[in-house]
Amino acid sequence: MRIGIDASNIGGGGGVTHLKEILANLPELKEIEKVTVFASQKVLKQLSEVDHIKKITFPALNKGLLNRVVFQLWDYDKHLKQHCDILFSVTGDYLGRFKPVVGMSQNMLLYERNIWKEIKQPKEIMRFWLNFLKQRRCFSNASGIIFISQYAKKYVSNKLNLKNKEISIIHHGISPRFQGKVRKQFSIDNYSEKNPFKLLYVSTVHVYKHQWNLVEAVDLLRKKGYPIVLDLVGGVIFKPAGKKLEKVIQEIDPHHKFIHYHGHVPYDKIDEFYKKADGIVYASTCENMPNILIESMASGLPIVCSNKQPMPEFLKENGFYFDAKNVDSISNAIEEMFLNPEKRESMAKRNFEEVKKYSWEITANETFSFLEEIYTSYYGNRQ
């Protein structure tokens, strides 16, 4: 079985991490003869050199979206036929006619249209619409589809016709370096202005991440007398959201005494922020599988979290929940965490155990086993 991996539309971030990890943990399945990755030179450079993994790029894959689309529609398939017997589209947007194909769902922004209304920028909305059309075509032609959460499977299945498709839910893994240890939790009275409670939110800045609401909530808590500081880690991926965050921080804490925005931090440095934090907040309202939340669970710290699915699917009853669009709700949830040190410690312990079931080794094994199933079924039926 020669496996092709279509990574032609991976830009960076979590998509690259997923690809790197499943290749690094490639299982020894007897059916796998070779794995070929098709991607831009930028992405391929980030992948390790391994004998049985071949890396191929084409000029069109190193250009803009239009060039990639034209290439996929007219020239891609003839190259695929030379190198693979089954294709895995990791971004779930392969447009050609090669079969069999397994597509993957990783982006709920293609489906949750209420977020589009908040964006209010035609160019950005058009980008999501085009990507939705590409994924719809890919899934229509696919023999198998991988989801990374129960929530995504249910939501997307209600939007697209996925009858007669083999479907598997395969969770992403987590890097061992995020594994911390459960710390003893103390009363909020143990903290002071000189030794404040350090709250951490790791996330890119977009309209559905709600950093500005969190800033206002922290301000409310400080006005109540709670010694709290907030660290925000994550680059701006939507400029209007970045400007909104900057404006709110400037209004509330112009001298950056208790709000510290660090911008983009390399992925291999983020675990250092977890080690310095006392608690985690996660305020996103649009996720497929929230990897940052899983990493937070591994940190051994208490978590205050958005009540929007799929966050509760993974965090379960082990977090203090809030409505991310409501400043008072966020403030109340953080305050509840402050006032219940025993509860936050027991939650952190349960999260620490729960997160042990997520590993990239398991992800890789389940992924390639599913590809093998689709391959066997497809070619067996043809015979």
Summarize pLDDT for 63-94 with one digit per residue, the tens.
Answer: 988 899 899 999 999 999 999 999 999 999 99
Please state the separation of Cα 8 from the chain's center in Å: 18
Of 108 and 66, the structure prediction assigns the larger pLDDT to 108
Summarize pLDDT for 286-317 with one digit per residue, the tens.
Answer: 999 999 999 999 999 999 999 999 999 999 99
The pLDDT confidence band at residue 180, using thresholds 50, 70 and 90, is: confident
Query: 2-173+359-382 with 176-357: one CATH topology?
Result: yes
**Cβ partners under 8 Å of residue 60, min gap 6:** 67, 68, 70, 71, 75
Question: What pLDDT shows up at residue 268?
Answer: 85
With b for 16 or more beta-carbon neighbours within 10 A and e for fewer, the 319-333 pattern comes to: bbbbbbeebebbbbb
Summarize pLDDT for 274-285 with one digit per residue, the tens.
Answer: 999 999 999 999
Question: What pLDDT shows up at residue 65?
Answer: 84
pLDDT exceeding 70 applies to what percent of the chain? Answer: 98
- AA identity, residue 15: G
Question: What pLDDT shows up at residue 279?
Answer: 97
Of 259 and 380, the structure prediction assigns the larger pLDDT to 259
3-state secondary structure 54-81: EEECCHHHHCCHHHHHHHHHHCHHHHHH
Summarize pLDDT for 115-133 with one digit per residue, the tens.
Answer: 999 998 898 999 899 999 9
What is the mean pLDDT of the segment spanning 196-219? 97
Question: What pLDDT shows up at residue 226?
Answer: 97
Question: What pLDDT shows up at residue 12?
Answer: 67
CA-to-CA separations, 87 to 11, 37, 114, in angstroms, rounded: 19, 10, 32
Question: What pLDDT shows up at residue 380?
Answer: 83
What is the mean pLDDT of the segment spanning 233-249? 96
Question: What pLDDT shows up at residue 382?
Answer: 63
User: In terms of C-beta distances under 8 Å and separation of at least 24 residues, what long-range contacts does 114-117 make, across chains too?
Assistant: 115/207, 115/208, 115/285, 115/286
Would you list the domain boundaries of the chain? 2-173+359-382, 176-357
Q: What is the dihedral of CA 352, 355, 360, 366, to 10 degrees?
A: 150
Does residue 383 have a pLDDT over 60? no
- Average pLDDT of the chain is 94
Least-confidence region, from 7-16, 198-207, 334-343:
7-16
**Cβ partners under 8 Å of residue 78, min gap 6:** none
Measure CA of the first residue to CA of the last residue in the chain; give whole Å: 16
Question: What pLDDT shows up at residue 104?
Answer: 97
Does residue 381 have a pLDDT over 90? no
Of 267 and 189, the structure prediction assigns the larger pLDDT to 189
Helix/strand number for the chain, H first, E second: 15, 13
Residue range 2-173+359-382, CATH number: 3.40.50.2000
Residue range 176-357, CATH number: 3.40.50.2000
> In angstroms, rounded to a whole number, what is the distance separating the alpha carbons of residues 298 and 353?
8
